[in-house]
Chains A and B, each alone.
Chain A
Amino acid sequence: MELPVISNSASDAGGCSSHSCGSTADQINQIPDEILQKVFNHPCYSEDAHHHFARMHVAVAPACNIQCHYCNRKYDCANESRPGVVSELLTPDQAAKKTLVVASEIPQMSVLGIAGPGDPLANPERTFATFQMLSEHAPDIKLCVSTNGLMLPQSVDEIAKHNIDHVTITINCVDPDVGAKIYPWIFWNNKRIMGREGAAILIEQQQKGLEACIAKGILVKVNSVMIPGVNDEHLKEVSRVVKSKGAFLHNVMPLIAEAEHGTFYGLTGQRSPTQDELQALQDACAGDMNMMRHCRQCRADAVGLLGEDRGSEFTLDKIAEYELDLEGAAARRAEVRDRISAELEEKRNAKAEAPAPKLVALDMSGVAVSTPLRTVKMAVATSGGGLINQHFGHAKEFLIYEASGNGVRFVGHRKTDLYCGGGDTCGDTETTLEQTIKALEGCEVVLCSKIGYEPWGMLEEAGIAPNGEHAMEGIEDAVMAVYAEMAAAGKLVPPLDTPVQSAA
């Protein structure tokens, strides 16, 4: 019996070390060609691109016009890595200069986004002044903006003027009753409007804004925060609605809520979704929507390749002193862009010419084939190249693969350090290892090049089998080999909720 590898594209190491980040075969391919042309070098939208091109956010937009229950405007911490958090507010002049400096130093820079820390469209003068300077001095850099949508309908003409072809709207609901549980107030027509009434206006504006962007030919991605018990089921409806209106990607992200953030959700004990719940919802939404699984929930001042943040290298002092050579930098970016585009094109052609997906043999001897095999999730530690080549303890993230009777597919990535890198100073009682094991919830096997004695024991205790036997092997082949071993050992016959012993 032979099983296909469902998602099988090769790629080089970058900020994300994935061999395939999953969005290729089953998601991005649904996107029409003219949109693919627009996003091919956008690291946040294109799976291929995020290994090669860098992006940055500039924090020029401090004001916000709504309150979300997962946000606390008082909170700022250099160790935090999550949306809405920044270390330093920039003026438009500083932001433009910083972007030009970064784009000189990192020629892979292709995208500049404004995402906060408030709402960019609640700070229209600062936001559009920044865009104006950049479209003048570095017209090759793509501009994008991320908004809560309240002021989007009024801003669409201005957005189109600045040649911003990518807009992200955070849409957590299309039902005001759900919205009332997420948004305590909005500021609208010179008044603060509380509760359901405010949520209804916000929802109406978001949908109008989405439609207006699509009508102008502006690409729209939709972000949603998954809040268990509040909007988790509802997001399937959101997915249907936004896709029917023309959004090209839907990015479902997990709620980040800890008491120490001081947010409503954090303090009232609203839990975040588990990794399994998130994936299940992403799967459910993927049926009628392009999903985005390599999103890293960046800070509003992140710099570099996705999955890395080089923001600390570019301090205001350094930026102020830096002497720009705009033409030289633009030429270097063009060279890098052409080289990477050619490589990606070559890769795409190779894939198109490939006769069939690569097949991985599964040794089914000794297994009753009539019984359907259950699905198994495995975590992989890799530093790139599509190989199992990273020590367990060095992995900053794990790639999650799902093996089943149909083959193996990439389903997402999981960070080990989550969003806090502060260690002891943040008062977290969990050790890094405990956090890592929690992040691997739902996985039955972890594949790595090597693993220490202590984590080995703790993983086993958590019901996750450590496996270092496939070091330096290709990920998909190794995952299928382990799956075959499990099948041969009779571990795949009983459904998940039945204890293995009872079937033995």
Chain B
Amino acid sequence: MALEINDLCVNCWACEPLCPNKAIFAASPHFEIDPDKCTECAGDYADAQCAEICPIEGAIVDELGDALNPPGSLTGIPLQLLAEAAGSAAGTAAKT
């Protein structure tokens, strides 16, 4: 039972000091969770601390790959607008 940080992570350090198991560490290109140490905060907190403070939707996932903070859940931005923004960002990137 362990959580995972994916490449959406922006390396903001918010989660690192909160982990009760010291399972989170700075790495390149982004922070990682040591699966042997992670307990998903069971026994320490009601909710996984890294996922509670993480500002990036989708950056922390469980063993099934499901996001603990799915798109729109933190910012309140409607999914359609998020999709449009992602589309136009991809378009800009393709041009440059």
Q: Is B49 an interface residue (CB 8 A)?
A: yes
The answer to whether B49 and A62 have CB atoms under 8 Å apart is no
Asked whether B49 lies within 8 Å of A190 as measured between CB atoms, the reply is yes
Q: How distant is the Cα of A55 from the Cα of B37 in the complex, in angstroms?
A: 43
| B1-15 residues at the A interface, CB under 8 angstroms | 10-14
Q: Are A73 and B53 interface neighbours, CB within 8 A? A: no
- Tell whether A267 pairs with B76 under 8 Å between CB atoms, given A62-B11, A123-B13: no
Q: Is B77 touching A65 in the complex (CB atoms < 8 A)? A: no
User: In chain A, residues 59-86, which have Cβ atoms closer than 8 Å to a Cβ of chain B?
Assistant: 62-65, 67, 69, 73-74
CA of A62 to CA of B17, assembled, Å: 12
* Chain B stretch 43-96: residues in CB contact (< 8 A) with chain A: 45-47, 49, 52-53, 55-56, 74-78, 81-82, 85, 88-89, 92, 95-96
Q: Which residues of A contact B53 (CB under 8 A)?
A: 63, 65, 187, 192
Contacts of B78 in A (CB 8 A): 268
Q: Is the CB of A64 within 8 A of B52?
A: no
When distances are taken between beta carbons in the complex, the residues of chain B under 8 Å from A386 are: none
Given A64-B55, A65-B53, A191-B47, A267:B12 Cβ within 8 A: no
Candidate in A123, A184, A190, A259 with the most chain B CB atoms within 10 angstroms: A190
Q: How far is the CA of A187 from the CA of B49 in the complex (A)?
A: 10
From B11, B52, B95, residue with most partner A Cβ within 10 Å: B52
Contact indicator B45/A190 (Cβ below 8 Å): yes
Please measure, in the bound complex, the distance between the C-alpha atom of A162 and the C-alpha atom of B88, giving whole angstroms.
Answer: 46
**Most interface-central of B46, B74, B78, B96 (chain A CB within 10 A):** B74
A263 to B12, CA, bound (A): 17
Give the most central of B10, B49, B55, B96: most A CB within 10 Å. Answer: B55
Q: Which residues of chain A are within 8 angstroms of B47 by Cβ–Cβ distance?
A: 190-192
**Given contacts A67-B75, A259-B85, A427-B92, A190 and B12 within 8 Å (CB-CB):** no
**B52 contacts A192, C-beta separation under 8 Å:** yes
A-B contact pairs, 18 of them (CB 8 A): A63-B13, A63-B53, A64-B12, A64-B55, A67-B74, A69-B75, A73-B56, A74-B10, A118-B12, A118-B14, A123-B13, A190-B45, A192-B53, A260-B92, A262-B85, A262-B89, A264-B77, A268-B78
Across the A-B interface, give the 7 residue pairs with the lowest CB-CB distance, nearest first: A63-B14, A187-B53, A267-B81, A62-B12, A192-B52, A73-B55, A62-B13
